[in-house]
Structure 1
Amino acid sequence: MTKRVKKAIIPAAGLGTRFLPATKAMPKEMLPIVDKPTIQYIVEEAINSGIEDIIIVTGKGKRAIEDHFDYSFDLEHSLFSSGKVKLLEEVQRSSEMADIHYIRQKHPKGLGHAVWSARKFIGDEPFAVLLGDDIVQAETPCIRQMMEQFERTESSVIGVKPVPDEETSRYGIVETSSKSGRLYEVANFVEKPPKGEAPSNLAIMGRYILTPEIFSFLENQEAGAGGEIQLTDAIQKLNQVQHVYAYEFEGNRYDVGDKLGFITTSVEFALQNEELREPLLHYLKEKVLNLP
């Protein structure tokens, strides 16, 4: 009988160098999209997918993440005393979301090492991995879609989306051998292939359902692209002993891992906000498009 996916790892130990100097003293995961830090979108996706326990892998200078998901007595008391009930509910919501645990990645050795750091928390269960550089809006939460595919295949499932050919060198890319609807059987995984050498345009998009066997490969994985221990390289080895599938998930994926993606995502999310939509549209027409 297939074990249910109940635990998730959210790696959040990166240095956030693309957003310096803003991330010198603030974790990049706490940079807000409108009025909510990026990591909260990721946590909400996991919870809405049915995940029961979340472990966030942090690093030096990431204490703000723990504080965000903790209670803040002084702030909550002040909001209550001021009658700001709606704001109080929003603040309390972040501290009542789920059972969130933390572990420190002591050395910045890459995504694969960050996932391996949480092995004792996961044990011998299948688990989800959600990266904070990708926010997905979908009717059915992205990781829930993938959990359903895992229940069908009883195998690891990697979330993918097609990208323009000129961008394939930025991603882990899958080479497929067969397809059934949105589900692909994978022949090979290639981490950031050189331009013009990608086997497809299906890029790994920061969502994974993995079996615990991945930890044995991560433990012995040598450094790969960028001198880091790459999760994609370990998945390639796992695929040699177990079927690994790629699933082209439904929904809109927003890249908040670089400045342009962060800005455009902020604009799109602001346009979805009833309070901000009209004044923002007015500003864009007048100041950006020079329309009357």
Structure 2
Amino acid sequence: MSTRPRKAVIPVAGFGTRVLPASKAIPKELLPVVDRPLIHYIMEEALEAGIEHLCFVTGRGKSAIEDYFDHQVELEQALEKKNKKDILSATMESVLEAGATSFTRQQKALGLGHAVWCARDIVGDEPFAVLLPDVIIKGKPKALKEMMDRYEDGANLLAVEEVPMQETNKYGVIAPKGDWSNGAVEMSGMVEKPDPSEAPSNYSITGRYILQPEIFGLLEKQGPGAGNEIQLTDSMASLLDRQKFLAVTFTGESHDCGSIEGFVKANIAFGMDHPQYGEGIKEAVAALR
């Protein structure tokens, strides 16, 4: 029986230290790229891929994320009364069906692996996706949809993209086993920020995963790794000895909005393609050159 991932884990408990002081006042995941917050783009990518349930792993000060996916009755009534149908329609895009979201707390900042482990009872014994909200994908289809199209029962998938070989020391990099076929290759390992002279490839891990539920048992026993945190990559490396891992490329363009530079670039890139504001933004960017 084929079991495709139905649930996605979205870790949103981090402090957003790379975009301070802005993230002191507002959760990083709600910072706007053009006219929508980062988390909206993550939601769209998950739904495009056929995900049925979103599990947000939150922390203190992140309740506004939960509010974003709920009704705002007074606002909706005001927009309807003023006949602002387009704005109301755009506002309602983030209101998901009842029961389509879950929110669980990561009480201590113990790392990405620990955040994923916090969702274990919601996910249960089935494969699931993980989407890191720092990274948004421009283009269609987006990365997770292409991963789902290549999904194999029992396999783990990681989205990857090429980076300059001299920059491998900035990323987690995969070690391919065999040849690429239709944008995918089996993995023999992964290395965190390798020196370019020692890097097994120039394909970096992008922040999209499809994982088998056995990862939870490994995360439960996983000790602290880099940064004295429970790292997801450590448990994936252990699982790689037992299960198949595939690295999958995607056609979209990724933007790391966890950094100030990446966040600004994302606003420009998405802004220039916006159906309403695009031409004006293009003119403004051209005038700066």
Q: Same fold (TM over 0.5)?
A: yes
Q: Distance in 2 between matches of 1:58 and 1:269?
A: 26
Q: Distance in 1 between matches of 2:125 and 2:109?
A: 25
Q: What residue in structure 2 maps to residue 284 of structure 1?
A: 285
Deviation at 1:175, TM superposition (A): 0.6
Q: What residue in structure 1 maps to residue 107 of structure 2?
A: 106
Q: Distance in 2 between matches of 1:259 and 1:275?
A: 25
Q: Does 1:121 align with 2:122?
A: yes
Deviation at 1:57, TM superposition (A): 0.5
Correspondences of 1:72-221 after superposition (within 5 Å): 72-96=72-96, 99-151=100-152, 154-179=154-179, 180-194=181-195, 196-221=197-222
- Structure 1 stretches of 4+ moved >4 Å: none
Q: What residue in structure 2 maps to residue 26 of structure 1?
A: 26
Q: Distance in 1 between matches of 2:217 and 2:154?
A: 19
Deviation at 1:84, TM superposition (A): 0.8
Q: Is the 8 A contact 2:142 2:250 kept in 1?
A: no
**How many residues matched?**
287
Q: Distance in 2 between matches of 1:148 and 1:285?
A: 38
Q: Is the 8 A contact 1:186 1:244 kept in 2?
A: yes
Deviation at 1:97, TM superposition (A): 5.9
Tell me the secondary structure at the aligned position of residue 191 of structure 2. Answer: strand
Q: Distance in 2 between matches of 1:57 and 1:21?
A: 22
Paired AA for residue 80 in structure 1: E
Paired AA for residue 274 in structure 2: N
Q: Distance in 1 between matches of 2:97 and 2:256?
A: 24
Q: Distance in 1 between matches of 2:219 and 2:36?
A: 33
Tell me the secondary structure at the aligned position of residue 159 of structure 1. Answer: strand
Give the gaps of 5 or more residues in structure 2. none
> In structure 2, do the counterparts of structure 1 residues 194 and 107 end up closer, same or farther at CA, with 3 Å as the change threshold?
farther
Paired AA for residue 206 in structure 2: M
Q: Does 1:56 align with 2:56?
A: yes
Deviating more after overlay: 42-51 vs 184-193:
184-193
Q: Does 1:67 align with 2:67?
A: yes
Deviation at 1:82, TM superposition (A): 1.2
Paired AA for residue 165 in structure 1: M
Structure 2 length-normalised TM: 0.95
Give the gaps of 5 or more residues in structure 1. none
Q: Distance in 2 between matches of 1:100 and 1:147?
A: 20
Q: Distance in 2 between matches of 1:209 and 1:183?
A: 14
Deviating more after overlay: 187-196 vs 119-128:
187-196
How far does the alpha carbon of each residue in 1:61-82 deviate from its partner, in whole angstroms, 9 at most, with x for none? 1011011111101111111111
Q: Sequence identity of aligned pairs in percent?
A: 44
Paired AA for residue 141 in structure 1: K
How far does the alpha carbon of each residue in 1:155-200 deviate from its partner, in whole angstroms, 9 at most, with x for none? 1111111112233222221111112231111111112334643221
Deviation at 1:280, TM superposition (A): 2.0
Note the aligned Cα RMSD (angstroms).
1.5
Q: Is the 8 A contact 1:191 1:225 kept in 2?
A: no
Tell me the secondary structure at the aligned position of residue 175 of structure 2. Answer: strand
Paired AA for residue 235 in structure 2: A
Q: Is the 8 A contact 2:186 2:245 kept in 1?
A: yes
Deviation at 1:48, TM superposition (A): 1.2
Q: What residue in structure 2 maps to residue 247 of structure 1?
A: 248
